[in-house]
Amino acid sequence: MLKGIDPLLSGDLLKILDDMGHGDQLLLVDRNYPAAASGKPVIRLGEVGVLRAATAILSVYPLDSFIDHPLERMEVEEDPNKTTSLQNDLLQLAKEAENRELEYGVIPRLNFYERAKNAYAVVHTLEDQPYGCFVLHKGVIF
């Protein structure tokens, strides 16, 4: 255990987050997402949902401030304007963690799978709400 570090952040997850550089992309996904298919390292968090995982990750992981959408979500039912309660809650959590206004970038579902090939790693949760898949772009600390 480390003081001041969320216990959900295992050594393996902390190492991945620390090794990532500015602009690298982290996938945070639900239980239905084919996490291993991307060929990237997968950290499985067990019986944890996306919001709990995001709370831990965003406590140490800066979102990119050089791009318009450092947080992206999977499109819901082919409608870029439609969101789920989970997506709304995660956006609010990210705004609070970053202490700034944020808006989602929206990725069509099939494009999300293609984009996953460029991710640094995947954090897999057992989130049961559909469309619980997100891309977090790593920023810098000034």
Block residue for tokens 């902390």 = 14
Task: Evaluate whether 53 touches 45 at the Cβ level (below 8 Å).
Answer: yes
Annotation says 69 is catalytic: no
Q: Exactly one of 22, 69, 124, 137 is catalytic; which is it? A: 22
Residue 120: HSE in the Cβ half-sphere, 13 Å Cα cutoff: 17
Task: Evaluate whether 63 touches 136 at the Cβ level (below 8 Å).
Answer: yes
> What is the per-residue DSSP string for 85-133?
HHHHHHHHHHHHHHTS----EEE-HHHHHHHGGG-SEEEE----STT--
Nearest to 87 by CA among 36, 132, 23, 42: 132
Active site residues: 22
